[in-house]
Chain A
């Protein structure tokens, strides 16, 4: 991976695209944690790839690439939310899927608030520790741990209900 990052920093577009493809699942999960509208997810992925290409020279330590990329994506998502708040004073209301299924994790997560969704994704899907998540999201560490616990409990309850109804 470090070799790919080095080549991408030197301006090799093929290496860069390979690098992005290797991280597209992770990027998609985070963007989907923020937005349920597919067009928003599309825009955030597109913008993050371009920002990353433009700013890759500022990354000093390749081992932090994934965290760095995730922070760019989070900043882009926050910017979009902020710009909408300025235009339309409405919170994005998630649209939970009608049916609950283990196979539709994004749908299950839509039942949680945006911050909790994101914390669960960063922790369970991407393996970040709560302290790293606190730093990425600009939240107190205690908030992240309590949201993680509450989110985990809510999700587990949903899954248990689903098992009963099956």
Chain B
């Protein structure tokens, strides 16, 4: 850690004196919470403001079906999840009006999906369901989902409302993400927010609007998800919906009871492993995503904490020596799939972000990418470039060519 870095750590770790206003804001909320609790304890006012989660597990066996692929059975699913209905964006440079500094937003490019090829490659792994739930006037119906053995997945569902769904699909966000922000909704209605977990584990997910599906009262949403850590064989998706009422009424908005659907995963998408013999870096690639594994590279470089003698130590803000592996930081800069026909798919680089979700663990050992297209081509190699920066500010480039 150089002098400048040490100085900044020392500076930032000093306690900040809370302003009188900030303390007052906290006290005001504390008093409101205490008051709510006192009211709940009164016998005549037993209405609980604290929401209760009710898990509505439907008769799953009756509703859940997996279909064998003889013809194209999942055309709508493939088109919504891996087609061009979700917005693409070119690369954009934003100039900060305060400082003039520039910020680059990489492009994301959607491509047409070949539904016949898709059906052949993953058709029999696609699960369909018609489980549905209703919250504040919206009817949310699960359509289809597909999860690979790394836990990377995609789920489509339909949202209907008799008064229209413009609040959910309005705005013009980059990449076509759905708008679940209650206070941004102009329409005088209640609002919901979906949540996804796999086997009860916290995962990362983003929800996009299939613009080709939008009608006045209905839209197909596409949720992509990735785990942060290694998952054992994924068994079920928990799709929950929180909702909020009274947003535009002038009263305090109130959370309703959460609703949850359990979606069983009975057949996982297969992955193929690619490895770089020089660095030990490997990747498990499925048609819908990629899991990068840097465990062997970290171990070979003494950065996994198991080789005490080779782990360098640095001085922290208290002057104590701590192992550098606790602060390892690896950035992934480039991931490219090279196809047998000579073409390629750039999953990400500095100017391209052809992923829907990108997640990783805090130890920089595993990185997960959900693709924004379905890969049906034969992959001959995976190219990876990353940077490991140590706390002396010295960056080391990591480059690997992974093959089957």
Contact = CB atoms under 8 A, between A and B. Distances in A.
Interface residues of B, number: 63
B237 to A, nearest CB: 14
Nearest to A105: B11
B34 interface: yes
**Most chain B CB atoms below 10 A, which of A29, A32, A60:** A60
Contacts of B101: 113, 116, 147, 150
A112 B22 contact: no
A17 B33 contact: yes
A37 to B, nearest CB: 9
A132 B362 contact: yes
Contacts of A46: 25-26, 28-29
Contacts of A129: 329, 362
Contacts of B362: 129, 132
A64 B377 CA distance: 38
B280 to A, nearest CB: 22
Contacts of B350: 142
Given A41-B21, A42-B21, A79-B181, A115 B104 contact: no
Contacts of A161: none
B22 A31 contact: yes
A152 B16 contact: no
Given A32-B16, A55-B255, A16 B33 contact: yes
Say whether chain A's binding surface is mostly helix, strand, loop, or mixed.
helix
Contacts of B331: 130-131, 141-142, 145
B37 interface: yes
B318 interface: no
Interface stretch (B59-67, B196-204, B338-346): B196-204
Nearest to B99: A113
B138 to A, nearest CB: 18
A41 B197 CA distance: 33
Say whether chain B's binding surface is mostly helix, strand, loop, or mixed.
mixed
A20 B104 contact: no
Interface in B168-201: 181, 183-184, 195, 197, 200-201
Contacts of A102: 11
A50 B18 contact: no
A120 B11 CA distance: 11
A110 to B, nearest CB: 11
A38 B21 contact: yes
Interface in A103-147: 105-106, 112-116, 120-121, 124-125, 129-132, 135, 139-143, 145, 147
A144 B364 CA distance: 16
A61 B34 CA distance: 25
A125 B360 CA distance: 22
Contacts of B242: 55, 58
Nearest to B32: A50
A115 B97 CA distance: 12
Given A39-B21, A58-B242, A61-B202, A29 B30 contact: no
B37 A13 contact: yes
Interface of A: 11, 13, 16-17, 20-21, 24-25, 28-29, 31-32, 38-39, 41-47, 49-50, 53-55, 57-58, 60-61, 64, 79, 82-83, 91, 93-94, 102, 105-106, 112-116, 120-121, 124-125, 129-132, 135, 139-143, 145, 147, 150, 152, 155-156, 159
Given A25-B18, A79-B181, 13 more contacts: A16-B33, A17-B30, A25-B16, A43-B25, A46-B26, A46-B28, A57-B51, A57-B52, A58-B195, A58-B242, A105-B16, A147-B103, A152-B4
